[in-house]
Amino acid sequence: MITASHNPPDWNGFKIKEGFGGSAFPETTKAVEKQLDKLQTSNFKPQNNSKSQITKFDPDPEYLAKIKSLVDLDSLKTHNLKIVIDPMYGSGSGYFKKLGLAVIEIRGRRDPLFGGVNPEPLPVNLEESISFVKETALKYKNELTACIILDGDADRLAAIDASGRFINTHNIFSLLLRHLKVNRRLSGDVIKTFNLTNLIDKQCKKYDQKLEVVPIGFKNIARKMMEKDILLGGEESGGMGLKGFIPERDGILAGLTLLEMVAYEKKNLAQMLEEIMNELGHFYYDRLDLHTNEAQTVVKKLTDSPPATFAGRKIAKVETLDGLKFNFEDESWILFRASGTEPLLRVYVEGRTPEEVKLLLGAGEDVVRQNS
């Protein structure tokens, strides 16, 4: 694939997918890089292949048939559920309608400039969508209004509740886990990346379900999905992989499964999320992306000399699985990690209150500035 993903067009590059349908493993990427190095030192000249060597095909029939086998679409049609879809002008446009669902689609026109907005399902990019969902819920007087937001290439998702509440990746993972385990009673282990909520740990303990934590990047989840019986795997950026599908993220499948949960329980997203948190604990999250060329240096400095306290809190445990993570006694945490694709240092925070999240993010930004 030739894509810049969610980045500006000057970041355009090649993305390699393997035969199993998921992202290339490191060993494959290294082999390709090695071959490219050879070509650069040789007299190789690109060949203009004829159009007859290019095969075109339509993946929709097989894809849609597989999706229909994994989700109870009839429940979405028969229940009084008002569905809003926001594909952010990307490649997910039209797919919920192709599945025969009567949805309201906003920002559904295919636009390579994504309407001038970064096609990432984050609140900063969703102000109009949040307002539209609230207006739709009021118009139809329907508590079961829900919006699924897809990113530009539809492999990641977020959601908006009828109240206009943003449902982030952490929330979606917890909701899907409850639905798959409690409502559908499916088996299989659970995998999360290093920067996902501790609420998942508490849910797995309650469900007596094995949980594995892996470094950030869906390729680490995909390999596990190929080797083991995995029910659900997910990452902070919004990618979810579900049992029965290819070992890869799919925002459409995850979104449909989330809507299936709304129809099954006849409750809106925020209601179900509050039920989980009221029982197991409230967790809140935010992230800060700091542009710096010193990201690796900052993380190394903090790793080599970690403080005993941070923002006035005692550090209960330090983890270095991927970046540097300070865990605090109340199960809140802050993670410093250099981006693998951009000159960014990402600061991830989970707290027990929204105020705690803001405090820790501010302290994290201060520490980065001091060590840059």
pLDDT tens per residue, range 19-59: 999 888 889 999 999 998 888 888 777 777 666 777 889 99
Mean pLDDT in residue range 227-252? 96
- Locate all alpha helices (DSSP H) within the chain, ordered by sequence: 26-40, 60-70, 73-78, 95-98, 127-140, 169-178, 199-206, 218-227, 251-265, 269-280, 295-304, 354-371
pLDDT at 296: 93
* Residues 47, 5: Cα–Cα separation, whole Å: 27
The whole-model pTM stands at: 0.94
- Of 280, 302, 336, the residue that ends a domain is 280
Q: Are 317 and 232 contained in the same domain?
A: no
- Of 260, 280, 300, the residue that ends a domain is 280
55 in any annotated domain: no
Q: Are 261 and 289 contained in the same domain?
A: no
58 in any annotated domain: no
Q: Are 229 and 91 contained in the same domain?
A: yes
Q: Are 251 and 306 contained in the same domain?
A: no
The one-character DSSP state at 348 is: E
| pLDDT band at 66; cut points 50, 70, 90 | very high
Q: Are 235 and 294 contained in the same domain?
A: no
Of residues 195, 209, 177, the one with CA closest to residue 321:
195
Report the percentage of the chain scoring pLDDT > 90.
81
170 in any annotated domain: yes
pLDDT at 49: 67
187: burial class by Cβ within 10 Å (0-12, 13-18, 19+)?
exposed
Q: Does the pLDDT value for residue 78 go beyond 90?
A: no
pLDDT tens per residue, range 335-354: 999 987 788 999 999 999 99
CATH at 78: 3.40.120.10
CATH at 308: 3.30.310.50
44 in any annotated domain: no
pLDDT at 216: 94
134 in any annotated domain: yes
Q: Are 69 and 13 contained in the same domain?
A: no
Q: Are 93 and 107 contained in the same domain?
A: yes
Q: Does the pLDDT value for residue 2 go beyond 90?
A: no
Q: In what order do the strands lie in the sheet with 166-167?
A: 104-105, 82-86, 145-150, 157-161, 166-167
Domain extent for 11 = 2-39
Q: Does the pLDDT value for residue 120 go beyond 70?
A: yes
Mean pLDDT in residue range 160-165? 96
Q: Are 329 and 200 contained in the same domain?
A: no
pLDDT at 249: 96
Q: Are 250 and 303 contained in the same domain?
A: no
pLDDT at 279: 98
pLDDT at 51: 67
| pLDDT band at 132; cut points 50, 70, 90 | very high
What mean pLDDT value characterizes the chain? 93
Mean pLDDT in residue range 269-280? 98
Q: Which residue type is seen at 189?
A: D
- Of 247, 280, 313, the residue that ends a domain is 280
Report the percentage of the chain scoring pLDDT > 70.
99
341 in any annotated domain: yes
Q: Are 120 and 146 contained in the same domain?
A: yes
Q: Are 82 and 169 contained in the same domain?
A: yes
Q: Are 191 and 264 contained in the same domain?
A: yes
57 in any annotated domain: no
330 in any annotated domain: yes
Mean pLDDT in residue range 222-246? 96
Terminal alpha carbon distance of the chain: 35
**Cα–Cα–Cα angle for 342, 298, 13, nearest 5°?**
10
Mean pLDDT in residue range 117-137? 94
Total domains in the chain come to 3
Helix (H, G, I), strand (E, B) or coil at 147: strand
